[in-house]
Structure 1
Amino acid sequence: MSNGHGAFLERLQGILKPDRPEIEAAETSDPRTVAKLRATEHVFGRMFPRQEEQPSDEKLAALANAMREQQDDASGLSSIPAGMTFLGQFIDHDLTLETISKLGITEQNDEELPNFRTPRLELDSVYRSGPGMFPFLYDRRFHLVAGTSSNPRDLPRNNADVALIGDPRNDENLFISQLHGLFLRLHNFILDDMTGGSDPTAEHFARAQRKVRDVYQGIIVDDYLPAIVDGDVLRPLLEGFWNGKLPGPYNWDEAPDMPFEFSAAAFRFGHSQVRGSYMVNASRRVRLFDLGGFQAVPADHNIDWNLFFDHGDGKVQFARQIDTRIADTLLNLPDRVADGGPVSLPFRNMQRGQQTFRLPYGEVVAEALGVHPIDKHQKVIDAQLDQTPLWFYVLAEAEAFGGRLGPVGGTLVAGTLLNLLLRDDDSIVKRRGDLHVDGLDALTLSSVAKLVG
């Protein structure tokens, strides 16, 4: 099942460059923009061979149904701030957009599938190709357009309340919508701080953009990955990362930029973190789908980020544990989300990973990574499966590792993200750039929220 936004994105990509030399200079001042304009497309790939023999829909459905979590109370919570769930979704939207494959229909030529996002941690979903190619994202002074007249913390919108942002998916729920707004305001804050109130130039824009990207990458390395990956798994990966080469036994030099094992399985672990409901601010609790996306956000729904990231004041809500239980609401997706397909998100995940992309089983990936496989989970046994679908394996492994990604899940997620940074000549690891921003006391999303939230 496609994401349903392909036609809209194609219309955006058809916008012509205006005759504005100063903005053309802003584009070409960033070397990655030049490469992006020359590239026709990016494609997905495989870390490990296809697994042709796959379980039936009935067995996958039985396993998915066994994941239902009936309660929404403290017994299922982790120590991971709730905002990390939506940061993961934001990162995913920055890296991947695939609109061609269909759920349950085997994709025979999957390694030719285009990825309509650049596989780089560069905030492509925020900046796109710059002001010249996407002028509706910017004002005339190189700021990103942010807010509306009725709610300065909403996303910018047209008269039909359509968000004017680089990726429409970042308006699909309240939480990612407001998170996207943080990065819009961070860019504008840094640009204003850099110019001291004078008119920005194309060079100022390029420097501010680079600084925001550096902060974003630093947050992923220093804040996000330590929150979700077991420390013993992450430590050697980070050591290799800062020394310029990730450790084996897998040869990361041969990895595709965007592996199916990451995009169609491991990085979907965040669905296990989703709660049935959240306190948005001191006066309002919402269930996940109560406030549908793709509409204006009332000011009384603005998120109090103290409730989503740890500001040290004891107010933070926590994500659900990363385990084999899924909030009940995700097994009963609304029609507008399911879009005519299965209403169970766990079933959709496993159908996509195992049947559409024929991913190897979790036990196979574990052995390929030199890891002793975990024991078969009771839910897998009850579903009469001989081996474990990769997505479920990542969750079962995290369950066995105290609620953080273990050797298979942690290696696939952290290894892929860190490898993308190693392949990017303009990343923080290659340039060792200055990550200081006045007013930002740490490379955490909590600090960004305190600064511009």
Structure 2
Amino acid sequence: MAIVFQSHGGAEKERAVPGPSVRAGRPATGDVAVDEEADFGYFVPPLDAPENYLPNTAETLGELDELGEMMIDVVATPTSEDPTEDSTLPPVFTYWGQFLDHELTARTDREGAISSMVNAHPPVASSTVESQFRNARSPRFDLDSVYGGSAVGEGIDADVVKVISGLRHPTLTNKMRVGTAVDPGPLPDNLDEHRDLPRYGQVQSSVREAALRLAQAAMTPEAFQKFSDSLPQRAIIGDNRNDENLVVAQFHLSFLRFHNKAVDYLASHDTGWIADFSSAQALTRLHYQWLIVEGYLKGVCDPVVVDRVVNDRASHFFKFRAEFDARRQNTRLGNALPLEFSTAAYRFGHSMVRTFYDYNKNFGRPGTGFLPRATLKLLFEFTGGGGRLDDDKKLPKNWIIDWTRFTGADPHDASDGEPARLARRIDTELAPPLHTLFKEGEDQADQQLKELFKNLARRNLRRGYNLRLPTKVPPSSGLQSQAPDGPGFAQASQANWRGAVLADPRCLSIVRREARFEELPRRHCIAFPRAYADLVLHSGRSRGCRRKSIGRSRELSRGVDLRGRAACGSGLGSFAWVHAQSEPSQDARQLTDRLDHQMDAVRGGHAIVLARLLPRRTAARQTAISSGFTTLWLRKRGRNHPAILP
């Protein structure tokens, strides 16, 4: 393990790959939490056979970059959002998911010897990735991103311990340190003002000095200078990515305050528990884990699926662990997490981000405060690295979140022209602001590299290619014939159950613009259990396909509202490929109704919905069907792209 100083981008100092150990090592680059040096493994075991991957060519990167540009949603105006893009989930689910990601994984977004966006080609062998790529977080819901992990090991010195001690209250040592918001106000409610993250500006000088020594040893001179200059407003929390935006920062703060309330409760009630740090930590973790299952997973997934996984004791996941241990005998460092999950399957939250939020009474309804809404850009700026904190380097009182607007306790739609108190739907498009990330790429002198680091879709696609996420499921994977149970499955006559590799959904295809369908190579599209699952139909004309265009393509593509049911965060099941056949004369409503019916049949499972809109008798279609491929037409920004899916 090691202390990690990190952000979502940038490069980390080169270091030797550690040997097998469950003990802490020296600091790397990033933030405060102990580096668990845990394992990443492949859910689909590494095969290193060319036919299981995207073509290993420089051309592939260009095609992925083009696809990344197409994945960002386009808004009609810069001041409004399309209400049909809204889900039924409260907006807290977007940032709850981000918090869980930071709790489970770290280092997947860093530039290093194994994982690189800039030098994504050629990728290293998958067996090398699995043996050398490390997860800086424990793959358990133990809140190491909050508590900092266990500082135990020969690489842990006094500076490491000193910084971690700064997470605790200096005098009430059973409690966690929190920060205090400052004027201007007003507060959004009648609660207290102790609702900022703790920051280095409020800790003892010995803690700041220790943090600087650790950072200097782990960072390049340029990165260290930037770190040193921003230290006073920098949050001292287990994982500094949780100070990336205000919503996830306030979510992190909720756990600090819950821990402190647990200490007070144990001290004032005869529970049999000792009112100390360890007891409060245990209670916080137990409540947190219960909320994940009963709140988060049953919100974004079908509750029937969640219950089945729980009752089955997550057998697929532990089967993966057992197979990984067998492959990595005598070399594994800790509990493994599937790469397909951490670098692909769990990234569905990127489609849930809003451009605008009804944040609190100061920056939201009724519109009589400072602004009628809060932009995502402002939510990034009023953080430790955002540059908008005042001379006190603390959060202003008027930017404390009103959780009733984010949790569904006080719902509101968009009928008044302001943002609905809902997350965006889980679908095939990333939110518009994710095309140009606010805090990333600023240290890149080259304009092309700056654009790459700022475009989240391109980054994720390149990362999946570079980390050798497989694009084909071998029969030995056990995913080939597993279909979810439940009523209605017998009636799904057009459902073709196939196991699908848990890989990056963004690569729905390698697109060859204006190519004839018959001339396309049989490229294996990366399939995936999340929202990219609701690509249903696409109309238009192209060479190689003669048919009548079906109008209202965007309305049709939203005709099947998966409402997050296709995205199971555990990544444990198989998937349904639902093929809706349509003759050229069939209108959008008929196809929508048919897809709705089929979704009813497969509800409770993971579904990827495709519409086959090619005429029934074309040779291309018959060839594709008989060879196990399915056709999909992508329509984006007025362009039609033929693609092949496995």
Q: Which bin holds the TM-score, normalised by the shorter protein? A: 0.7 to 0.9
Tell me what 2:397 maps to: 299
Q: Which residue of 2 aligns with 1:77?
A: 86
- Identify the residue that residue 31 of structure 1 maps to in structure 2: none
Structure 2 length normalisation: TM-score? Answer: 0.53
**Residue equivalent to 1:271:** 350
Structure 1: any 5+ residue segments left out of the alignment?
Answer: 16-35, 416-453
Query: Residue 94 of structure 1 aligns to which amino acid in structure 2?
Result: E
Instruction: Tell me which residue corresponds to 1:443.
Output: none
Matches within 5 A, 1:229-378: 229-241=301-313, 245-246=314-315, 253-254=322-323, 257-284=336-363, 285-290=373-378, 291-292=380-381, 293-295=383-385, 296-311=394-409, 314=412, 317-334=421-438, 336=440, 340=444, 341=449, 342=452, 343-353=454-464, 355-361=465-471, 367-368=479-480, 370=482, 372-373=497-498
Whether 1:47 aligns to 2:40 is no
- 1:411 and 1:303 map into 2 onto residues whose CA distance is 26
C-alpha separation in 2, matches of 1:413 and 1:232: 15
Q: Which amino acid aligns with 2:361?
A: A
CA distance in 1, matches of 2:375, 2:498: 36
Deviations 1:64-106 (A, max 9, x none): 2222222322110111111111111111111111143222252
Deviations 1:224-273 (A, max 9, x none): 001111345334213213xxx53699656436621101111001111011
Query: SS where residue 525 of structure 2 aligns?
Result: coil
Give the structure 2 partner of residue 380 of structure 1. 509
Alpha-carbon contact 2:405-2:411 (below 8 Å) kept: no
- Alpha-carbon offset, residue 130 of structure 1: 6.3
**Cα offsets for 1:169-203 (capped at 9, x unmatched):** 111111111111101000001111111299xx986
Which of residues 121, 129, 138 is equivalent to 2:141? Answer: 121
Q: Which amino acid aligns with 1:153?
A: R
Closer, same or farther: CA 5–308 of 1 in aligned 2, 3 Å: farther
Seen in structure 2, the aligned counterparts of structure 1 residues 257 and 339 have a Cα distance that, compared at 3 Å, is farther
Structure 1: which amino acid aligns with 2:180? T
Q: 1:114 to 1:87 in 2, by over 3 A?
A: same
Give the direction of change, closer, same or farther, for the CA distance of 1:95–1:236 in structure 2 (3 Å limit): same
Corresponding residue number in structure 2 for 1:154:
196
Q: CA deviation at 1:329?
A: 1.2
Q: CA deviation at 1:387?
A: 2.8
- SS in structure 1 at match of 2:176: coil
Q: Which residue pairs with 1:389 in the alignment?
A: 526
Which secondary structure state, in structure 1, belongs to the residue aligned with residue 87 of structure 2? Answer: strand
After superposition, what is the alpha-carbon deviation per residue over 1:271-320, rounded to whole angstroms, capped at 9, x for unaligned? 01111121211231222223423254221111111111111555871111
1:89 to 73, 81, 98: 98
Is the 1:143–1:187 Cα contact (8 Å) retained in structure 2? yes
Specify the structure having the higher radius of gyration (Cα): 2
Contact 1:361 1:389 survives alignment (8 Å): yes
Amino acid at match of 1:136: G
Offset, 1:349: 1.1
Q: CA deviation at 1:54?
A: 1.8
> SS in structure 2 opposite 1:79?
coil
Change (3 A) 1:304 1:223: same
Q: Is the 8 A contact 1:5 1:168 kept in 2?
A: no
**% of aligned pairs identical?**
29
Q: Give the structure with the higher percent helix.
A: 1
Q: State the 1:326 CA deviation.
A: 1.4
Q: Look up the SS of the partner of 2:568 in the other structure.
A: helix
Distance 1:107 1:347 in 2: 19
- Cα contact 2:435–2:455 (8 A) shared by 1: yes
1:373 CA displacement? 4.5
**Alignment check: 8 A CA contact 1:322 1:395 kept:** yes
Report the Cα distance in structure 2 between the residues aligned to 1:368 and 1:249, rounded to whole angstroms. 18
Count of residues in correspondence between the two structures? 385
Q: Which residue of 2 aligns with 1:413?
A: 571
Matched, 1:403 2:562: yes
When the two structures are superposed, what TM-score results if normalisation uses the length of structure 1?
A: 0.74
Cα distance in 2 between the residues matched to 1:94 and 1:78: 25
Answer whether contact 1:240 1:246 (CA < 8 A) is retained. yes
2:227 alignment partner in structure 1: none
Once the two structures are TM-superposed, the CA of residue 339 in structure 1 deviates from its matched residue by 5.4
Q: What is the alpha-carbon distance in structure 2 between the residues aligned to residue 313 and residue 236 of structure 1?
A: 30
AA partner of residue 410 (structure 1): C
Task: For 2:384, give the aligned amino acid.
Answer: F
Contact 1:273 1:319 survives alignment (8 Å): yes
Task: Measure, in 2, the Cα distance between the counterparts of 1:378 and 1:358.
Answer: 13
Supply the distance in 2 between the matched residues of 1:333 and 1:262 (Cα, whole angstroms). Answer: 23
Q: Take 1:378 and 1:169, find their aligned partners in 2: how far apart are those partners?
A: 26
What residue number does 2:68 align with?
64
Question: Which residue is 2:582 aligned to?
Answer: none
* Cα distance in 2 for residues equivalent to 1:195 and 1:325: 49
Structure 1 residues 41 and 397 mapped into 2: Cα distance closer, same or farther (>3 Å)? Answer: same
Checking the alignment, whether the CA contact within 8 Å between 1:265 and 1:390 is kept in structure 2 is: no
Q: Which residue identity lines up with residue 524 of structure 2 in the other structure?
A: Q
What is the distance in 2 between the residues matched to 1:92 and 1:383? 34
Q: 1-side partners of 2:90 and 2:176: how far apart?
A: 28
CA drift of 1:13 comes to 8.6
**Aligned residue number for residue 440 of structure 1:** none
SS in 2 for 1:78: coil
Going from structure 1 to structure 2, the CA distance change for 1:6 and 1:377 (only over 3 Å counts) comes to closer
**Preserved CA contact (<8 Å) 2:457 2:506:** no
Following superposition, the deviation at residue 346 of structure 1 comes to: 1.2
CA separation in 1, counterparts of 2:82 and 2:94? Answer: 17
- CA offset at residue 321 of structure 1? 1.0
Q: Distance in 2 between matches of 1:90 and 1:42?
A: 19
Q: Return 150-159 or 331-340, whichever deviates more.
A: 331-340
* Unaligned stretches of 5+ residues in structure 2: 1-6, 14-25, 76-80, 152-160, 183-192, 202-231, 325-334, 364-372, 386-393, 414-419, 484-496, 514-521, 537-559, 574-646
Contact between 1:261 and 1:412, CA under 8 Å: does it hold in 2? no
Specify the alignment match of 1:18 in structure 2.
Answer: none
